[in-house]
Chains A and B, each alone.
Chain A
Amino acid sequence: MSAVVTDHEHDHEHHDHKPSGIKRWFYTTNHKDIGTMYLVFALIMFFIGGTMAMVIRAELFQPGMQFVEPNFFNQMTTVHGLIMVFGAVMPAFTGLANWMIPMMIGAPDMALPRMNNWSFWILPFAFLILLISLFLPGGGPNFGWTFYAPLSTKYSGDSTALFVFSVHIMGISSIMGAINVIVTIFNLRAPGMTWMKMPLFVWTWLITAFLLIMVMPVLAGAVTMVLTDKYFGTSFFDAAGGGDPVLFQHIFWFFGHPEVYIMILPAFGIVSSIVPTFARKPLFGYASMVYATSSIALLSFLVWAHHMFTTGMPVFAELFFMYCTMLIAVPTGVKVFNWVATMWRGAMTFEVPMMFALAFIVLFTIGGFSGLMLAITPADFQYHDTYFVVAHFHYVLVTGAVFSIIAAAYYWLPKWTGHMYDEKLGQWHFWCSLISVNLLFFPMHFVGLAGMPRRIPDYALQFADFNAFISIGGFLFGASQLIFVWVLVKCARGGEKATAQVWEGAEGLEWEVPSPAPYHTFETPPVIK
């Protein structure tokens, strides 16, 4: 045995040689390098998309037109949405998957490392194309991130082709990433790592990856139809040629609803890893968590038309989609219950990852609750296309998905860098974010219920005070994220040495390798007890 180990370590040193400088990053097939690139890319995109949000909030600070033209305002809402969904949240989750899944299941790397390199390196080009379109004559896409026909077919600018190609590239990247995750989890689990022993982050990502390969191609189909309708004379969505614009909404939301679960299931996995660590108790109801995640994924294919209650569907269809949507609250409730039960009588401590995870549980539940309100068909006619919807999906995406990503970054940062982050600065980041994010999004519920429409650069005078509060919250939330960058840079440069286990209550294979995790881990599969 010892002979084998020595051999292996010899081998290990040999492997550690990598091209230096920029070439290392272009040519790398190492899951840790690629994970890091995904995460850094997501952070940059988060700030670019965030800057657009600042433009939106600056314009809405007062009624009337202040800084930008309505057409540019529409481009900002559109590209902000696209960048945050496809450029920030999804790549951040893929980055975490790349870093953590092989280490969590005891695999030496991702199953398809060369494809892994490709799926990352086409992403910057996709977003370069999208961002360049903003500077072309006529401007970038201005039809909302949902690109409803005929806005995107009849009334869109010349840059629509660039938008379509960039979405195609993003889709191909996501599909390749998802295939890689599935093959890794199916084929490379360490001996003894049975399905029901996998960490929940791995489980939720496996289900997410299946959702990705099921729906990203449908999105690719939808943008292709928009492209041919606009440039090649087809009439998929053009009533004059026998098509139907409502069909677009069906196809888009058939992709769009599973997509929102793609952006939240990995978050469930992250919170299910963090809460047991800081409560120093095993996760309550592991099996029910797995089943709840699977049922949420299955139900996500049966609820798409709840985005379309006002299109004039028959009552039967409205009832069907209303009840199916409400049914999703049941498995989600199981999850929230399990997290709370995990903390029950635990020896809890409140480091930054735990704080963000706790905020996630509370604030995501608020977002889920407003989602239930939106699911009620008769009520939705009032809420539809108002700021209430904006409040709802920002609670689930910012205080849900983004908070979980930040929590994950704090949780695994010592494992990635080998240093502890600055706890005091991290707490500052948390409290500033928590207060400002609620100042930013909570009043949106009220202006929405009072009838303020989405995606309009001006508004009626009675909304002025609330919008001023919202904008101040927005600027503060944006500024708070600079603290995060400071923490990240400081932690990457140095700090207190982290132990292998890092957190007292942490359990799992990733905590058995030293910190920082060596370039190659688990070249010989570990033994699972």
Chain B
Amino acid sequence: MAFKHKPLTTKLVFIALAMFGFGFALVPLYDVFCDLTGLNGKTASTAASADAAIVDTSREVVIEFIARPNKQMPWVFEPEVTRMTVHPGEIHITNYLAQNPTSRLIVGQAVPSVSPGQAALYFHKIECFCFTQQRLAGGKDMLMPLQFYVDPALPRQFSTITLSYTLYDVTSASTDLTATSSQLGE
């Protein structure tokens, strides 16, 4: 009797295992989907090439900068300027100020989000402090640069783009890193 049921049971167990795998496959699928569509306001996490296209002087786009440390993050974290008017295609640099008021070394990671989400595909960062983790010893401060341009292909309905950064404390997740850097006397 059991022999008769074995092929079907095996298939069903296989489906269940495959669906368990599918649950995890949703993670990269979600990222790919968001990258392709620019949904969720996710910007690219790697640098764009600096050879920008022709500057479109016929229109201006307002870029707003928002910065916010996460609740558990003790740093002061602010943009140097909160608003900038740019032509699509122009390369601009702006700075963010970070200050560590505590007495210990803290590692931070900034996570960007662009609003409206559909504009995220057209906001290119040539250099960004958000590409890597930032280390700051206690009582120190620093300026963190952001170099960007807006794609001239940006649809005309977008006249304002808001770039928001949330800064997270990732010190505990990068303990090895801090151990090495403090040994180096950083």
Residues of A within 8 A of B (CB): 111-112, 175, 178-179, 182-183, 186-187, 213-222, 225, 233, 236, 239-242, 244, 246-247, 250-251, 254-255, 312-314, 317
Q: Is the CB of B173 within 8 A of A187?
A: no
Tell me if B156 is interfacial: C-beta within 8 Å of chain A: no
B40-76 contact mask (Cβ, 8 Å, vs A): 1 or 0: 1010010000000000000000000000001000000
When the two chains form the complex, which single residue of B12, B24, B109 contacts A213, counting CB atoms closer than 8 Å? B12
Closest CB of chain B to A445's CB: distance in Å? 33
List chain B positions with a Cβ less than 8 A from chain A.
2, 4-5, 8-9, 12-13, 15-17, 19-20, 22-24, 26-27, 30, 34, 37, 39-40, 42, 45, 70, 109, 111, 117-118, 166, 168-170, 173
Bound Cα distance from A214 to B26, whole angstroms:
14
> What's the least CB distance linking B132 to chain A, in Å?
12
Give Cα A216 to B40, complex, Å.
27
Q: Write 23 A-B pairs (CB below 8 A) sorted by A numbering.
A: A112-B2, A112-B5, A175-B16, A183-B5, A183-B9, A183-B12, A187-B5, A217-B22, A219-B23, A239-B111, A239-B168, A240-B111, A240-B168, A240-B173, A241-B173, A247-B26, A251-B23, A251-B26, A251-B27, A255-B23, A312-B117, A314-B39, A317-B39
Q: Which residue of A is nearest B118, CB measured?
A: A314
- A132 CA to B107 CA, complexed, in Å: 38
B184 → chain A, closest Cβ, in Å? 24
Q: Is the CB of A186 within 8 A of B20?
A: no
Q: For B16, what are the chain A residues with a Cβ–Cβ distance below 8 Å?
A: 175, 179, 213, 216-217
Residues of A within 8 A of B26 (CB): 218, 247, 250-251, 254
Query: B23–A112 contact, CB under 8 A?
Result: no
Q: Which 4 A-B pairs have the closest CB atoms?
A: A221-B23, A240-B168, A217-B20, A217-B19
Which of A111, A182, A214, A246 meets B40, CB within 8 Å?
Answer: A246
Q: Which of A111, A187, A250 contacts B30 (CB 8 A)?
A: A250
Secondary structure of the B contact surface, majority rule: helix
Which of A187, A216, A240 has a CB less than 8 Å from the CB of B70?
A: A240
Q: A233-B173, A312-B117 are in contact. Are A218 and B70 (CB under 8 A)?
A: no
B27 contacts A247, C-beta separation under 8 Å: yes
Residue of A nearest to B13 (CB): A179
Cα–Cα distance between A178 and B12 once the two chains are bound (Å): 9
Query: A186 — which chain B residues lie within 8 A by C-beta?
Result: 8
> Which of A187, A213, A219 has a CB less than 8 Å from the CB of B4?
A187
Least Cβ distance of B69 to chain A in Å? 11
Say how far A119's CB is from chain B's closest CB, in angstroms. 13
Residues on the A chain within 8 Å of B42, using CB? 244
Determine the distance from Cα of A218 to Cα of B168 in the docked complex, in whole angstroms. Answer: 29
Supposing A112-B9, A179-B12, A244-B40 touch, asked if A221 and B170 sit within 8 A by C-beta, the answer is no
Within the assembled complex, what's the spacing in Å between the Cα atoms of A230 and B70?
Answer: 18
Expressed in whole angstroms, the Cα–Cα distance for A241 and B109 within the complex equals 8
Closest A residue to B2 by beta carbon equals A112
B20 touches A221 (CB 8 A): yes
Do A217 and B17 have beta carbons less than 8 Å apart? yes
A255 surroundings in chain B (CB, below 8 A): 23
Report whether B15 and A214 are in contact in the complex, using a CB–CB cutoff of 8 Å. Answer: yes
Pick the residue among A178, A183, A241, A313 that contacts B8 (CB under 8 A): A183
Point out which of B5, B15, B30 has the most chain A C-beta atoms below 10 A from its C-beta.
B5
Q: How distant is the Cα of A236 from the Cα of B23 in the complex, in angstroms? A: 12
Bound-state Cα–Cα, A246 to B112, Å = 15
Task: Give the chain A neighbours of B169 by CB distance below 8 A.
Answer: 240
User: In angstroms, how far is the closest chain B Cβ from the Cβ of A281?
Assistant: 36
A112 to B2, CA, bound (A): 7
How many Å from the CB of B4 to the closest CB on chain A?
6
Q: Tell me which of B5, B19, B37, B111 contacts A218 (CB under 8 A).
A: B19
What is the bound-complex CA distance between A218 and B23, given in angstroms? 5
Q: Which residues of A contact B34 (CB under 8 A)?
A: 244
> Which A residues lie within 8 Å of B117 (CB)?
312, 314
Task: Provide the bound-state CA to CA distance between A187 and B5, in Å.
Answer: 7
Contacts of A254 in B (CB 8 A): 23, 26
Q: Which residues in A have their C-beta under 8 angstroms from that of B37?
A: 314
| Complex-state Cα separation, A239 to B71, whole angstroms | 13
Residues of A within 8 A of B166 (CB): 239
Q: Are B5 and A213 in contact (CB-based, < 8 A)? A: no
**List of B residues within 8 angstroms of A246 by Cβ:** 40
In angstroms, Cα B168 to Cα A312, docked, is 22
In the complex, what distance in Å separates the CA atom of A179 from the CA atom of B118? Answer: 44
- B72, closest chain A residue (CB): A154
CA distance A219 to B23 in the complex (A): 8
Distance in angstroms from B106 CB to nearest chain A CB is 13
Inter-chain CA distance A82–B42, complex, in Å, is: 34
Q: State the CA gap A476–B168 with chains docked (Å).
A: 50
**Chain A residues, CB < 8 A from B118:** 314
Pair A220/B30 contact, Cβ less than 8 Å: no
Report the separation of the CA atoms of residues A227 and B134 in the bound assembly, to the nearest whole angstrom: 27
Complex Cα gap A112–B5 (Å) = 8
- Cα–Cα, bound, A159→B5 (Å): 40
Chain A residues near B27 (CB, 8 Å)? Answer: 225, 236, 247, 251
Residue among A186, A233, A239 having the largest count of chain B Cβ atoms under 10 Å: A239
A313 to B8, CA, bound (A): 40
Q: Give the complex CA separation of A313 and B42 in angstroms.
A: 13
Taking a contact as CB atoms closer than 8 A, the residue among A183, A213, A247 that contacts B19 in the complex is A213
Name the residue of chain B whose CB is nearest to the CB of A314.
B39
In whole Å, how far is A393's beta carbon from the nearest beta carbon of chain B? 23
B8 pairs with A182, CB closer than 8 A: yes
A240 to B110, CA, bound (A): 7
Is A244's CB under 8 angstroms from B30's CB? yes
Chain A, Cβ-Cβ closest to B108: A240
Most chain A CB neighbours (cut-off 10 Å) among B19, B37, B111? B19
CB–CB B70/A214 < 8 A: no
For B173, the closest partner residue in chain A by CB is A233
